[in-house]
Structure 1
Amino acid sequence: MASSGAAQPSQQAPASPEFDVPEVGIEAESTEPSDGDSAYGDDLESYTTSLKSTVLNYRYENGRRYHGFKDEGAKYYFPNDDLESDRLDLYHHIQTLRLGGELHLAPIGDNPQRVLDLGTGTGIWAIDMGDKYPSAEILGNDISPIQPSLVPPNVKFEVDDLEDEWVYSTKFDYIHSRYLACSIRDWSKLMRQCFKYVKPGGWVEFQDFDTRFYTTSGGEYNKDTTIGQWADRIADGLRKFGVEPDPGPQIETWVKDAGFTNVHSRTLPFPVGTWPKDKTLKEVGAFNLLQFLDNLEGMTLRIYTSAWGWKPEEVKVLCAQLRKEFKNPKMRFQHNFYVVYAQKPVDAVD
């Protein structure tokens, strides 16, 4: 993908992995749309103050704010500023809408006791779960401390790199994650840690995407459009840094390989735009279009400048071109959202 005067990559992009991506059709409308222990004393306070300063020492690049915790070589390529937080909260609404108002699909019962939310982001899912399940202790972890301080009493957050070795002393009834696409280097290790730290008989659930767009409704979208080339370069750029951009269609295999059973999988199309005939999908598509339009720079800047050597000004030109294409109702394109939930065998031995 090239913008005016844009530098071309000096390295050949890694080959994309081959796997089947189900294309799920959406019918289009016929008309075009115009507590700490006080016994620790001052030593603990001094230590935690030092840790907090490290965690909150954010990194700023090209006018956007990124995480500061364990930033060697960049652990996460998207911002953590207010614009990105707003986008993530909007996506929470989109996803909940697409799941018929449900926060999860795994049958965790009415009284779960311990729930872990991996990569909790703004914490909005954990907070909603805390309200829904007062019996549960909800723990959310993330590499960025961007979660609110006013939360239900049964919800807590911690700053952690979920790809490190976990050290929890008590296992969980349910482990949940979503939108970890473009952020995890070793998915197999993540699955093994989930298997180790969920109770026998407990559930895990992964909700995620891939970066592939497609059309099944006679749309003008194709891989040669600006959007198609942009999506490919985002994915290939992340692969240069060892990050997997397309976990969605591979999750079911990883879950099974980790030892989980009773595996359930759903593939749901997410339209982009208001072209679907179905009322709910039209609403999903409208919000999905907005979340792309509002933060294309946030999704693009760090990857393009780090992986491909583009200048920030060139990225802005590209994003202007992308917005024009995203707003074209004739594109009629979509991407897939995958939900996989599974159970740890009751007789499992770690």
Structure 2
Amino acid sequence: MAAETSPAPASPEPQTQPAAEMPIEVDSVSFPDRDSVIDDDVSALTQSITSSILDFPVENGRRYHAFRAGVYCLPNDDLEQDRLDLSHLLMTKTIGNKLFLAPIDQAKMQRVLDIGTGTGIWSMAMGDEYPHAEACKPNDDYILGNDLSPIQPPWVPPNVKFEVDDVEDPWVYRTPFDFIFCRYMMASIKDWPALVKNAYDNLNPGGWVEFQDYDIMYYSEDGSLKPESATHQWISELIDTSNKIGRDPQPGRSLEKWVREAGFEKVEHHKFRMPIGGWPKDPGLKQIGTYNLAQLLSGLEAFSLRLYCGVLGWSKEELMVLLAKVRKELKDPKLHAQFDFHVVYGQKPE
């Protein structure tokens, strides 16, 4: 016979916000050392928030961001950070060893926003390349990079600052920017037109915006990528699943339309082919293809785990079998697969 248990104590009533029309009641309790108490309260709150942001969850052996967990489907661990830095090299080489293509008057480029900065490598490169911004006033940072994950290094150029933020939240910047840059946010954004409109609203007149992103559907110009191949099946399923959760994995093909619809002028669209592997004859494309293959092989698990296991319900073992086939095919020099990288920039009217 089960032992009798005492009834659980009643739960306290949940705390609610006072009605908007009611004044907020002042806490009249006095303290002998008021400043010390306030400092302690602020410190405790800051530590609590910092702890929650840095409490990275681990799934299937990979580490993910904690702030707005689940918004971004790729991990943020050291292996992924190395891949992101390699991707930075890949993308800059693809567009001609440049950080951006917009025809910006550097003398007017005083405030820059880097959306979804990742490891912060683009922001830091900008800080090194444009050091004149060190003369900016305090709290008026030249280059600001935001991201869901606080994985950026602590030692950065003096004109660079990073913050944890969700770019799909309302933007509350007090001072507009002269250049807003957004790169490699595929499968991360729920509402792309709203993001582009936020960029427009937070630019100075005459300011520029630049988006760089992929259309990750693989294709071949010689028919070497077969529809029945493991690689074609894998990337097709990846794209379909990402679309099902409302995160466009092919934003590159729509960037020009979104930028024009937001009201930007002097819009330019450049499309670059990115081979997978060192099969191109052209030395520049061969190098890009080699970099691309390296970052893809490193990222196969990162791209797939949350979508295949978390959304489609595959076991990790099933996924690893598929990825082993994909890895083998991607290494085959007879496979001449590629995908497209898009760069779109425009200017806010003067």
- Partner of residue 303, structure 1: 307
Rounded Cα–Cα distance in structure 2 between residues aligned with 1:55 and 1:69: 5
Identify the residue that residue 49 of structure 1 maps to in structure 2. Answer: 47
Shift of 1:158: 0.3
Q: Which residue in 2 is equivalent to 1:230?
A: 234
After superposition, give the CA deviation of every residue in 1:322-343 in whole Å (9 maximum; x if it has no partner): 1111011111111000000000
Per-residue CA distance 1:26-68 (angstroms, 9 max, x = gap): xxxxxxxxxxxx9x73333222211111111111100000010
Deviations 1:236-268 (A, max 9, x none): 111221111110010000001111111000000
Partner of 2:20: none
Residue number among 188, 194, 210 corresponding to 2:193 in the alignment: 188
What is the DSSP-based 3-state SS (H/G/I as helix, E as strand, rest coil) of the residue aligned with 2:104? Answer: coil
Residue 114 in 1 paired to residue 111 in 2? yes
State the Cα distance separating 1:211 from its structure 2 match.
1.8
Spell out structure 1 runs of 4+ moving beyond 6 A. none
Structure-1 separation of matches of 2:346 and 2:261: 12
1:312 is aligned to 2:331: no
Letter in 2 for 1:193: N
Counterpart of 2:157 in structure 1: which amino acid? Answer: P
Residue 201 of structure 1 aligns to a residue in which SS? strand
Q: Work out the CA distance in 1 between the residues paired with 2:303 and 2:88.
A: 17
Q: How many residues align?
A: 306
The two structures have a TM-score, normalised by structure 2, of 0.85
Measure how far apart 1:223 and its partner are. Answer: 3.0
Show the counterpart of 2:175. Answer: 170
What CA deviation, in whole Å up to 9, does each residue of 1:84-139 have, x standing for no partner?
Answer: 10000001111111121110001222231100000000000000000011233100
- Any conservation in 2 of the 1:113–1:135 contact (CA below 8 Å)? no
SS of residue paired to 1:295? helix
2:99 to 103, 106, 123: 103
2:123 is aligned with 1:126: yes
Measured in 2, the distance between the counterparts of 1:44 and 1:259 equals: 42
The DSSP-based 3-state class of the residue aligned with 1:135 is helix
- RCO higher in 1 or 2 (8 Å CA, sep ≥ 6)? 1
Conservation of the 8 A alpha-carbon contact between 2:95 and 2:272 = no
Structure 1 counterpart of 2:274, from 259, 262, 270: 270
Q: Deviation of residue 219 (structure 1)?
A: 4.6
- Unmatched 5+ residue regions in structure 2? 1-35, 134-141
Q: Is the 1:240–1:307 Cα contact (8 Å) retained in structure 2?
A: no
- For 1:149 and 1:116, how far apart are their aligned partners in 2? 18
Q: 1:213 corresponds to which residue?
A: 218
**2: CA distance between counterparts of 1:201 and 1:226?**
48
Give the counterpart of 2:158 among 136, 153, 161: 153
Identify which of 338, 345, 349 aligns with 2:342: 338
Query: In the alignment, what sits opposite 1:66?
Result: 64
Q: TM-score, normalised by structure 1?
A: 0.85
RMSD: 1.4
Paired residues of 2:187 and 2:247 also in contact (CA < 8 A): yes
